[in-house]
Amino acid sequence: MADLKETVLSFDELEAIRLIDSEKMEQHKAGKKMKISQSTLSRLLRTGRKKLADAIINGQAINIQGGNFKMAQPRGGRFRAPAGGGRGRMGGFAAGPGGICKCPKCGYEETQVRGQPCMNKKCPKCQTQMIRG
């Protein structure tokens, strides 16, 4: 990759493309989620898509950086570990078997299968990524 030219894509451009193209979210909803106007979202989509297309067509590496974002603060104060000791995505424990996978878009639900995380499934009705319900 050291020999490749680089195209820099901002986190904001990537998030706009992810919400619109991957999550199939409407622009006004995506703008609200990102806390930006629809016209700003449209500009980010246009510039981000152009950069991606140019990088793919010209065989360039894509470097994702910059943008305006806020990191979530851990629970329990500034220097204390969150509940569960700060280990793992779920605060140190898995959600466990017997749960429900739910579509955040259409509300479709199905039983979660052990060893198959909900986030790895797509809704059979609308093709949106499922979440743990």
Residue with tokens 């979202």: 41
Instruction: Report the distance separating Cα 19 and Cα 21, nearest Å.
Output: 6
pLDDT digits (tens, 9 = 90+) for 14-47: 999 999 999 999 999 999 999 999 999 999 999 9
Say if residues 50 and 62 touch (Cβ distance below 8 Å). no
**Mind listing the domains of the chain with CATH numbers?**
6-65 (1.10.10), 98-133 (no CATH)
Phi, psi of 4 (to 5 degrees): -80, 145
Q: Quick one: tokens of 124?
A: 């059979």
Q: Considering only 43-47, 72-76, 111-115, which range has the smallest mean pLDDT? A: 72-76
Say if residues 45 and 16 touch (Cβ distance below 8 Å). yes
**Residue 90 pLDDT exceeds 50:** no
Rounded to two decimals, the pTM is: 0.50
